[in-house]
Amino acid sequence: MTTKSFTSTFYLIGGQHRNVQPFSDEDASIETMSHCSGYSDPASFAEDGPEILDEEGTQEDLEYKLKGFIDLTLDKSAKTRQAALEGIKNALASKMLYEFILERRMTLTDSIERCLKKGKSDEQRAAAALASVLCIQLGPGIESEEVLKTLGPILKKIICDGAASVQARQTCATCFGVCSFIATDDITELYSSLECLETVFTKSCLKEKDTRVVGSASGAGLQVSALLAWTLLLTVCPVSEVKKRLEMHFHKLPSLLSSDDVNLRIAAGESLALLFELARGMESDFFYEDMESLTHTLRALATDGNKHRAKVEKRKQRSVFRDVLRAVEERDFPTETVKFGPERMYIDCWVKKHTYDTFKEILGSGMQYHLQSNEFLRNVFELGPPVMLDAATLKTMKISRFERHLYNSAAFKARTKARSKCRDKRADVGEF
């Protein structure tokens, strides 16, 4: 990607251009606060999402709102800053705004950096989530590399800080993994990112095979995020490094299958399935020395009927581990189909599934839109250039949906009439 020029970041305050300084309760000026207050409440945007703007306003309206939210990331109130971060994140998750954010990349990065450094748990989580979507919008290249260069050390510090909020560390771990996946061009930096995430989840990988892994739900959430982010980065490592990491950690992960937390058990199972896929891709005759014990554990989890576990947890666990067991024993993967617009994407391996699940968690309902329009994601999933739909095609799609609605309405009426006749017959029999 060619290097693009960046404009210096200034805010217009009192008719003069001034450099933005890090906010604090002491030095935040009243003049700045009155300037920001002219914009609407960012919380309303965070709740409603940008779809409302698409319907009621124009692209200019959306950009004007976002400019206001960017200013509000300097507000005195932590709640206002958090809501502004969430509003920007929701907009970027639901709409491609590459040119808009390219001009304001340095401003957004500075705002995220300040909120990560000075904010509390919720504000740090909102800032980290925004950083993830910012890199997804920018894609690989010098722009996202600069974002990671600025935010990476701060994210690492929070992830490894035992005194920090566990929830903030969890979101930062996901953010760090995704941003490194997108922006890291230096192999050494990639290995450093792997090591940072390993320090988190390997603490729960006990040497004793039969020892139960017990921990708090919040602590387990951090380990899940670190493990899944580590697994994502492993999919883009050179073969030699993958072999090295497998030798170091393959035998440790099965201990996480005995965790009291269902999400950690599932994350460990899916990671193992992916690691087996990578290992067999490098060596078709790959042999795991403790295979019998592992398959026994996986089979027990796939048929788990423990009464002390919730039904929803057991149902979810059994479904996942049936697929994991098939992957380990039979090298099989249940193909999934993802529909977005007129296109279809087939998920036919664990690497693709894990990558899709990771970005789906970040983008939420905006995932389908990004699969259609985001060139970076389309390259990741080998979808080719974005499909351009002409007006005639769009009109045809709308007609087909309308016809489908009419068909469903007619079918509903037919069912209602049929059931009414049955009820009348039962009533006659009863009276007789």
pLDDT digits (tens, 9 = 90+) for 349-404: 999 999 999 999 999 999 999 999 999 999 999 999 988 765 544 455 455 566 66
C-alpha dihedral sign at 48, 51, 55, 57? positive
Give the residue from 190, 155, 160 showing the smallest Cα distance to 174.
155
Give the Å distances, CA to CA, from 95 to 49, 128, 153: 10, 19, 29
pLDDT digits (tens, 9 = 90+) for 41-95: 555 544 444 444 444 457 888 899 999 999 999 999 999 999 999 999 999 999 9
- Two tokens, residue 281: 């891709």
pLDDT digits (tens, 9 = 90+) for 20-33: 444 444 343 333 33
Question: 73: Cβ–Cβ under 8 A, 6 or more apart, which residues?
Answer: 81, 84, 85, 88, 111, 114, 115
pLDDT digits (tens, 9 = 90+) for 193-211: 999 999 998 876 653 344 4
Helix axes 166-183, 142-160, angle to 10 degrees: 150
pLDDT digits (tens, 9 = 90+) for 303-361: 987 766 777 888 889 999 999 999 999 999 989 999 998 899 999 999 999 999 999 99
pLDDT digits (tens, 9 = 90+) for 157-179: 999 999 999 999 999 999 999 99
Domain ranges of the chain: 338-380
- Two tokens, residue 361: 């968690």
Give pLDDT, residue 54: 44
